[in-house]
């Protein structure tokens, strides 16, 4: 799965969504502190694991950290590479390294899922429904059901919704048949309900990516997406959640532009179903009229894979249109959380996606630098997001293979060094091993309201991700839960010898908390403190 830059440019330009200006939200008003800075509270820095990153090709060491699990309020689905490396020692190891579910393609055949047919009588998967996930790609609809619409959105007017009630022969090539046959997902796990089949996957992720559409077909496309989501929901268990990589309320395509913050919801997310000239004849029911795709999905999936420029420390990163790993990571979430209340699950890939339009992005051969990989696993959760789908274009890893003779394969698959996974898991460990208790559903995510001072405490301001990026300031985000405050900070793209300092305060809900954070290079700082309440007399 890749999002080519050439597609982004043409699709956005073709629909009038390409931003050519930098207007966005007005700058927040900086508040000047009256009098001296109150007494500071020192943060307790979160420990870092000591490990030597792997240099072996086709391999990563999952034991760079010890056991930890996610809070019940969060979810991370593993659809990465190399689970096969760890099956011999313990097939459950991933669940003790921060992951909470396994995607179908990474499951162990005949152990976790009966992959090649109906299981023997009495057999049942060892995976709980919450530990199961499935990504449904274009081919599911296009090959067995002949729905070429899944590959070419221009075919939307040709799709048959369902057979008419009086049809003499059943036509299997309908969107209803493709969507309803997902109910058979319970068969491979040996736990179909006694009252009829219902899919028992915990999460179903749609990855169709045919949202580009010829002018005039928007309504057809919206009708199909709405009908598909409704039909899938009717054929899965009450515990199954569904969502899709697209559409999302707003897609920033890996940028963090000021104009993203004033964008409205994209049409395919909210356009209500409405009959067209031929929709009734093709079986579109009346019961979806007025409903949209967003009414039926359980979660949204804003988040964009990185291109190589985000990994290049020598590139420019501070202009409004520049690509920036943390500006994009936070910006996508900041924009979409305001456009929809649906829980957010982002796709994370720790290698660059492919695009011939960007330098060094033609192949997916570059891993995220250590601070970027670790920072993805920490900063993302400070946005209040619900989950992650951790994805890779490679599946099983065979370590220490000779470099391929074909130059096109060099740096891909088993020829990659996967130490980047170690840095990502290390970030998860730092956050959830030591601070998982804060993610109990009672926490408050400050996001742009994280109150910072960049001038030693004279003025205080909260910036969104674009404003921090374009001012070239340290990024700071905080979570508050009762009297506990957890703060993540970094100076993105800083050189190792650089040092920076930023102050953070929280002066709400009876607390008066001030602290100073020293930053070294681009390291990911994570620290926690207990805040002291102030009396009413002190507040007055």
Pick the more confident residue, 18 or 111: 111
CA geometry: angle 229, 232, 235, nearest 5 deg: 155
At 115, the pLDDT band (50, 70, 90 cuts) reads confident
Looking at the structure of the chain, the number of domains it has is 1
Q: What's the pLDDT score for residue 188? A: 94
**What is the per-residue pLDDT across 22-63, written as a single tens digit (0 to 9) for each?**
568 888 988 998 889 999 999 999 999 999 999 999 999 999
Q: What confidence score (pLDDT) does residue 536 get? A: 62
Q: Is residue 91 part of a domain?
A: yes
Average pLDDT over residues 306-327: 97
Residue 75: Cβ within 10 Å count: 24
Enclosing H/E stretch for 515: strand 513-520
What pLDDT sits at residue 6? 35
Rounded to whole angstroms, the Cα distance separating 23 from 5 reads: 23
In a domain, 7, yes or no: no
Q: How far is CA 331 from CA 150, 255, 259, 455, 495, in A?
A: 29, 8, 11, 24, 23
Check residue 3 and give its pLDDT: 43
Residue 337 lies in a domain: yes
Q: What pLDDT, on the 0 to 100 scale, is given for residue 162?
A: 95
Question: How confident is the model over 437-470, as pLDDT tens digits?
Answer: 999 999 999 999 999 999 999 999 999 999 999 9
List, in order, residues 6 or more apart from 322 with CB less than 8 Å away: 309, 315, 316, 469
Look at residue 15 and tell me whether its pLDDT is greater than 70.
no
Residue 525 inside a domain? The answer is no
Does a structural domain hold residue 451?
no
Q: Is the pLDDT of residue 291 over 80?
A: yes
Tokens found for residue 121: 């009588």
92-110 burial code (b ≥16 CB/10 A, e <16): ebbbebbbbbbbbebbbee
Residue range of the domain that includes 322: 53-443
Calculate mean pLDDT across residues 519-528.
98
The pTM is what? 0.94
From the list 538, 527, 523, the residue with the least C-alpha distance to 503 is 527
pLDDT above 50 (res 505): yes
Residue 43 lies in a domain: no
Cα–Cα distance, 142 to 103 (Å, whole number): 21
State the pLDDT confidence band at 211, using cuts at 50, 70 and 90: confident
Q: What is the mean pLDDT of residues 128-134?
A: 98
* Nearest CA among 161, 146, 139 for reference residue 225: 161
Looking up residue 434, the CATH number of its domain turns out to be 3.20.20
The answer to whether position 242 is within a domain reads yes
SS3 content of the chain, % helix, strand, coil (to 5): 30, 20, 50
Task: Say what the pLDDT of residue 213 is.
Answer: 82
221-259 b/e (C-beta count within 10 Å ≥ 16 → b): bbbbbbbbbbbbbebbbeebbbbbbbbbbbbbbbbbbbb
User: What does the alpha-carbon distance between residue 373 and residue 424 come to, in Å, rounded to a whole number?
Assistant: 5
Does 355 have pLDDT greater than 50? yes
Residue 182 falls inside a structural domain = yes
């Amino acid at each position: 799965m890749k999002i080519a830059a050439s597609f982004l440019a043409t699709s956005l330009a073709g629909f009038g969504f390409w931003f050519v200006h930098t207007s966005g939200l007005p700058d927040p008003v900086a508040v000047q502190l009256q009098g001296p800075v109150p007494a500071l509270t020192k943060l307790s820095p979160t420990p870092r694991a000591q490990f030597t990153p792997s240099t072996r090709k086709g391999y990563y060491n999952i034991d760079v950290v010890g056991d930890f699990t996610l809070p019940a309020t969060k979810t991370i689905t593993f659809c990465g590479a190399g689970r096969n490396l760890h099956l011999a020692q313990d097939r459950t190891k991933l669940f003790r390294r921060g992951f909470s579910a396994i995607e179908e393609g990474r499951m162990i055949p005949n152990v976790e899922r009966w992959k090649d047919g109906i299981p023997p009588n009495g057999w049942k998967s060892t995976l709980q429904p919450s530990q199961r996930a499935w990504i449904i790609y274009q081919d599911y609809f296009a090959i067995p059901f002949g729905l070429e619409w899944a590959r070419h959105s221009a075919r939307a007017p040709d799709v048959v919704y369902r057979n008419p009630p009086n049809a003499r022969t059943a036509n299997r090539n309908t969107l209803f048949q493709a969507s309803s046959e997902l109910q058979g997902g319970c068969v491979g796990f040996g736990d179909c309900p006694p009252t009829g089949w219902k899919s028992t996957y915990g999460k179903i992720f749609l990855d169709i990516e045919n949202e580009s559409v010829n002018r005039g077909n928007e309504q057809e496309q919206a009708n199909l997406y709405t009908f598909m989501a409704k039909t899938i929901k009717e054929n899965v268990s009450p515990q199954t959640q569904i969502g899709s990589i697209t559409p999302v309320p707003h897609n920033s395509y890996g940028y963090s532009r000021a104009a993203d913050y004033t964008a409205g919801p994209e049409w395919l997310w909210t356009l209500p179903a409405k009959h067209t000239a031929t929709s009734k004849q093709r079986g579109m029911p009346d019961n979806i009229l007025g409903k949209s795709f967003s009414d039926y999905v359980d979660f949204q999936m804003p988040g964009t894979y990185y291109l190589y420029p985000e990994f290049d420390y020598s590139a420019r990163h501070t202009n409004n249109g520049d690509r920036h790993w943390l500006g994009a990571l936070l910006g996508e979430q900041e924009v979409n959380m305001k456009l929809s209340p649906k829980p957010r699950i982002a796709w994370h890939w720790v290698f660059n996606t492919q695009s011939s339009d960007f330098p060094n992005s033609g192949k997916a051969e570059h891993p995220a630098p250590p601070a970027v990989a670790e920072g993805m696993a920490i900063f993302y959760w400070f946005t209040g997001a619900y989950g992650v789908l951790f994805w890779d274009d490679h599946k099983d890893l065979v370590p220490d293979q000779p470099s391929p003779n074909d130059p096109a394969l060099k740096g891909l698959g088993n020829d990659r060094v996967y130490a980047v996974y170690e840095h990502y898991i290390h970030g998860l460990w730092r956050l959830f091993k030591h601070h998982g208790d804060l993610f109990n559903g009672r926490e408050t995510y400050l996001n742009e309201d994280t109150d910072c001072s960049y001038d030693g405490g004279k003025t205080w301001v909260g910036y969104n991700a674009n404003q921090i990026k374009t001012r070239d300031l340290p990024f700071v985000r905080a979570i508050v839960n009762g009297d506990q405050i957890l703060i993540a900070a970094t100076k993105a793209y800083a050189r190792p010898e650089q040092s920076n300092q930023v102050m953070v305060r929280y002066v709400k809900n009876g607390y008066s908390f001030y602290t100073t954070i020293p930053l070294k290079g681009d390291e990911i700082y994570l620290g926690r403190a207990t805040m002291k309440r102030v009396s009413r007399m002190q507040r007055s």
